[in-house]
Amino acid sequence: MIVTTDETGRYLGHLDAGYPAPADMLERVRASGSGLAYDVPPFTPDFWYFPDGVPTVRPKLDYQAAEATVDGEKATRLTGIPAGVTVEVRGPEGAATVETDDEPLDLLLRTTGEYRVAFEAFPYQPVSLLITVTGGTNGAA
């Protein structure tokens, strides 16, 4: 949902645009000059929590997913997964769950196939990704 306010934070209105709102729609609302515009998530447990009784949007995990070349073959590298995050990976070689400890986790997916990767670390918003690795190894990484 896109919420618009004036410069003092007074509510002006909203558009039901899904979440996250399409970037072009958010930019059009901002460019219209009718105040400030914010992309607000739906009121569900995946997006909100209540520290000290105050409704607060759960922060997003700051991770990166990028194609990489390892030993001459394509892979996908996930970096910046912070300490304390539970990571579940389901892929061509089965499933595994890992909890990061004191340091951020870098995850390398090398075997060709589809992977479902999920992150859970309250109060961060949960993340679920579908990643396809092509041109990787055809056996254990």
- List the one residue out of 50, 47, 54 whose CA is nearest residue 19: 47
pLDDT of residue 125: 92
- CATH says 64-133 is which class? mainly beta
Sign of the dihedral through C-alpha 37, 127, 62, 93? negative
Per-residue pLDDT of the chain (141 residues; tens, 9 = 90+): 899 999 899 999 888 878 888 888 888 888 887 789 999 999 999 999 999 999 999 998 888 999 988 888 888 999 988 888 889 999 998 999 988 888 888 889 999 999 999 998 889 999 999 999 987 676 544
Parts of the chain belonging to CATH 2.60.40: 64-133
Element (H, E) at 122: none
